[in-house]
A and B are shown apart, each in its own frame.
Chain A
Amino acid sequence: MLALLLRDLRLATRAGGGFGLSLAFFLIVTVLVPLGVGPEGGTLALIAPGVLWVGALLACLLSLDRIFALDREDGSLDLLATAPLPLEGLVTVKALAHWLTTGLPLTLVAPVLAVLLNLPPAGYGPLTLSLLIGTPALSFIGAFGAALTVGLKRGGLLLSLLVLPLYIPTLIFGAETARRGAEGLASETPLLLLAGITLGAVAILPFAAAAAIRVNLR
């Protein structure tokens, strides 16, 4: 399992691995919003938590179809499925690798981008914390969606259609945590609910995703 994690991380950071692409996308979205909404600081501060969460979510979505599709194309998925490694473990490791190369970097740059959006100082802690706790759920839900569409030739668009509705609870609790933090309110309740979603997704979705991969391999 560790070997698989290291391989995925190495692949993501080599040329053509797509690492940094989602970060760049996140940056561009954050720059585009003030250009569309107007430079007025108060408005930006008001929408900053939501914009950062939606931006992070879309950036995460961008790299989902790589999770299994590349392994499917070059035959690795067949070989991994016959290897002494449970498919559930495979899904978990791949989702973890996706989070390490997407969710974690997004979380780390979010405070920097928050400066551009005029986020009130009180909001930085809750925003970073909510992304740190919430983005693993995005990766695991995304891995499930990627497993559903791994057998399809052009699954990218369908993947977004399937995954985005599943992202709704995570987005609501995540953005709510960040918003309450920015307004100086207590944000423990949504944060705990967000943590609950992440834990539930990590515990259950690998099984559903492994079932979907088995179906898609035959």
Chain B
Amino acid sequence: MSIWEYANPKRFMQTSSWVLPWVTGLAAMALVTGLTWGFFLTPDDYRQGSTVKIIYIHVPAAMMAINCWAMMLVTSLVWLIRRHHVSVLAAKAAAPIGMTMTLIALFTGAIWGQPMWGTWWAWDPRLTSFLILFLFYLGYIALWEAVEDPDTAADLTSVLCLVGSVFALLSRYAVLFWNQGLHQGASLSLDREEHVADVFAYPLWLTIAGFVLFFVALVLFRTRTEIRARRLRALEARERMA
């Protein structure tokens, strides 16, 4: 029994059809509990007041924005090396979700930044990196849209994802070099000194889990749609030829 069996479209459709409701349910539970806990049951921060509570959306969304690209990189590599269609369709399905997460992180950041730093936007390295990440998502999605043949599109977008990853990483360091910022350090890290207090951290972990599950559910759902769309195309093409 190997993991590659799930790369078979038929097998994937079967398995995902019973996994999907569970993941969706768990995601809803984690999100509802985590957000309620975070918004209503934690004290206001002594410096930042209640604005700090946007952290429960901002941080998970920002994490997923990056993780989503990492997932796309892995699935694109799997496609280029092992030619599993489900893999590349999952990358295609994930891209708009990642782009939305990036946008959410940028917008919630702006709403948080306004009262804290007195500005909606600053060319801070973290903010700039996310804006650049958004541009990479945009290019990736646009290339999928532009190429008609699905296999050609899969190959080209995978190569772009690979090269894009290298340049996204380079951009991250270039931006750090270019400007030191005012963004605070990591909200969660193993270094106890700088990370947020436990009262805030527990619901934060829960919302992060919720966002991860939510992301998985969305990717499964969208991949299923992509597979159905491909099948429809194949059937139509066959119809035309017959």
Contact = CB atoms under 8 A, between A and B. Distances in A.
Q: Do chains A and B touch in the complex (CB under 8 A)?
A: yes
Contact of B159 (A173, A211, A218): A211
Contacts of A26: none
Contact of A158 (B142, B159, B177): B142
B164 A176 contact: no
Nearest to A163: B139
A176 B178 contact: yes
Given A164-B135, A165-B164, A215 B174 contact: no
B171 interface: yes
A162 B160 contact: yes
Interface stretch (A15-23, A64-72, A81-89, A147-155): A147-155
A165 B142 CA distance: 13
What band does the interface of chain A fall in when counting residues whose beta carbon is under 8 Å from B? 20 to 34
Contacts of A164: 135
Nearest to A211: B159
A190 B174 CA distance: 9
Contacts of A204: 166
If over half of A's interface residues share one DSSP class (helix, strand or loop), that class is named, otherwise mixed; here it is: helix
Given A172-B174, A173-B174, A215-B156, A162 B132 contact: no
Interface in B188-217: none
Interface residues of B, number: 27
Interface in B67-104: none
A151 B152 contact: yes
A155 B167 CA distance: 21
B27 to A, nearest CB: 31
Interface string A187-218: 00010010001000000110010011001101
B139 A165 contact: yes
A37 B166 CA distance: 35
Given A144-B163, A148-B159, A168-B171, 8 more contacts: A158-B146, A161-B138, A162-B143, A165-B135, A169-B173, A208-B159, A212-B155, A215-B152
Lowest 5 A-B CB distances belong to which pairs? Answer: A172-B174, A169-B170, A169-B174, A165-B135, A215-B155
Interface of A: 141, 144, 148-149, 151-152, 155, 158, 161-162, 164-166, 168-169, 172-173, 176, 190, 193, 197, 204-205, 208, 211-212, 215-216, 218
15 contacts: A149-B146, A164-B135, A165-B132, A165-B135, A165-B139, A168-B132, A169-B167, A172-B174, A173-B177, A176-B177, A176-B178, A190-B177, A193-B177, A197-B170, A204-B166
